Amino acid sequence: MAYKPESEALFIVRNVGESGETPQRMDEEDMEQYAQDKPQGADAQRLAFGTGYFKEIYAFRIGAQLQISYEMRVAPRFKLGQAVAKFVESIPNRLELDRQNQLTFINATSYVNLSGRTVDVSGGDGLAGASAVHPLSHSTQTWSNIVPTNPPLSVTSLESAEQLGVTDILDNYGIPVMMTFTHLIVCRQDPTTVRIAAEILRSTTLITQANPGVINTFAQKYELMVLSRVAVDAQGRPDSTKYKWWFLAALGNRMNRLQMYEIIWEAPHMNPAPAGSNNGIDPFDDDQTYGARSRYGHGTVSFRGIEVSQAV
């Protein structure tokens, strides 16, 4: 499958360069939302301000190698250009898998990736991304980002997610945060859910009404994001238990959105193409070796900004 950057909008992306320090620490900073009364002659009251949770994001390098023998290069039926082009896609394809695995395993604190490495996907609070008991750093209250009963996508369940986003998304002082949710996210593996999402967001009339004169207030309210690698296992193979999952996410204003980060130390790239001048041909077996590399990491400070329905 050709690489398509489907999920980049989920992340706040920072390119720190190859010499950037690792880990990169991302802090959650919070301040009281409301000013206090100021009686005549009295000092204005200071707003409480403090650091909430934080996440340290580590760099991990990925790489791929392709060896082309002399016999393959001279065979008329072998399409070297096509083979190299497909090979180059392996790096951004892996990047996209790692990105979407942040949602694939949103109900866990870690998973073992396709290379056998344990990947931390917990939030700064140490819990799984989808939780009904997310704690607050400056309050004893908790908050939830799980749509009640994990319903399949419908107008009613989308309204439940919207209500959750208004009532249960709290700042670290326990006060509701008014976040602007921008994206409805569904899995490509379930055409029915994709169709329902498109109907909800693109119909001119409300789809639950037979009367064509009833205006669809959801029309163009959210951008539809259809992801191919969420309903999969760590190897990228389909996982039917996740086909109907859907999410409502706030991916707009950087200060008031999902705090999910992608740190790039080494952008996806291909090593210099092998040639005689750069010793790219093995003098013993005449193989040419192509290489591709990248170095990056992901982490979420807070899952405030994404509502989850793990529908089945």
**What is the CATH number for 161?**
3.90.1690
**pLDDT exceeds 50 at position 215:** yes
- The stretch 214-225 carries a mean pLDDT of 86
**Is 255 inside a domain boundary?**
yes
pLDDT at 209: 59
Structure confidence at residue 49 as a pLDDT band (50, 70, 90)? confident
Reduced to 3 states, what is the DSSP secondary structure of residue 198? helix
Q: What is the DSSP string of 193-261?
A: HHHHHHHHHH-SB-TT-S-TTSB-TTTTTSEEEEESSSSB-TTS-B-GGGTT-EEEE--SSGGGS-EEE
Distance of CA 126 to the CA centre of its chain: 18
Report yes or no on 248 lying in a domain.
yes
> Domain containing 101: what range?
10-28+53-309
pLDDT at 211: 59
pTM for the model stands at 0.90
pLDDT for the residue numbered 185: 98
Q: Token digits for 137?
A: 């750093």
Q: Which pLDDT value is given to residue 1?
A: 46
CA dist 191 and 45 (Å) reads 55
pLDDT of 89 above 80: yes
Euclidean distance between CA atoms 264 and 268, whole angstroms: 9
**Chain-centroid distance, C-alpha 120:** 14
What's the number of domains the chain is made of?
1
Mean pLDDT of all residues in 81-90:
85
- C-alpha distances out from residue 88 to 63, 84, 96, 273, Å: 10, 6, 14, 11
Bigger pLDDT: 279 or 97? 97
pLDDT digits (tens, 9 = 90+) for 104-117: 999 999 999 999 99
Residue 45 lies in a domain: no
- Which candidate, 144, 173, 159, places its Cα nearest to that of 206? 159
Q: Record the tokens describing residue 143, joined without a space.
A: 């908050």
Residue 54 · residue 81 · CB < 8 Å: no
**The pair of three-digit structure tokens given for residue 245, joined into one six-digit string:** 């999952």
Determine, yes or no, domain membership for 220. yes
Using DSSP, state whether 120 is helix, strand or coil: strand
Cα–Cα dist 108/118, whole Å = 12
